[in-house]
Amino acid sequence: MAEEAPEDPQIAHPDDADGENLTSEDSGDETVEADDKTDLAKVLEWIGYESPTAIDALVDELGSLRDFSSLTYKDISAMVKDGVTSKMPNGRSVKIKFRMTTQLALKKTIDWAKDRTKIGAPITLRSAKIDNRATFLRAINLARERKDIRCTKRRKHLKVKIMRLL
């Protein structure tokens, strides 16, 4: 009879999508932070950053994917304006370029993170079942559409309120 392999305590159970029941003593903040930084590095690659040194510099600047829920569009604009420099292997510092498409994708990622926060879901790629670029881009585009719909509804609601006051 085949012996069943012991269950890995680092793996969340299927009924535990957000990982609350992890039993390892090593599942502390360092592990979570490392996973968050790995998620952010993947996201940066998926939105168009190819250089590992640029990705590392942006991860250092932005923190983690979870931190996107507290960022604003103005934070991204300020980062673009102030610039982020990356140390090359030869010791030179190079300023990272922010194309319009990557700026927009970073802002959409903020929308996605805030959506996850609104529904009480963890801001991780694993919990969102995102494992490739196409799925991530669909998710952030959908988050932007939801944000636009909320803003439109809010404007219409305010317009009705103002009309009632007149």
84 vs 19, more confident: 84
- Amino acid 39 reads D
Helix (H) or strand (E) holding 85: strand 85-87
Query: CA-CA distance, 2 to 54, in Å (whole number)?
Result: 48
- Contacts of residue 113, defined as CB under 8 A and 6 or more positions apart, other chains included, come to 65, 66, 68, 69, 71, 123
Does pTM top 0.85 for this prediction?
no
In tens, the pLDDT along 139-155 reads 999 999 988 888 887 77
Helix (H) or strand (E) holding 131: none
In tens, the pLDDT along 51-71 reads 888 899 999 999 999 999 999
Three-class secondary structure of residue 118 per DSSP: helix
Domain ranges of the chain: 29-165
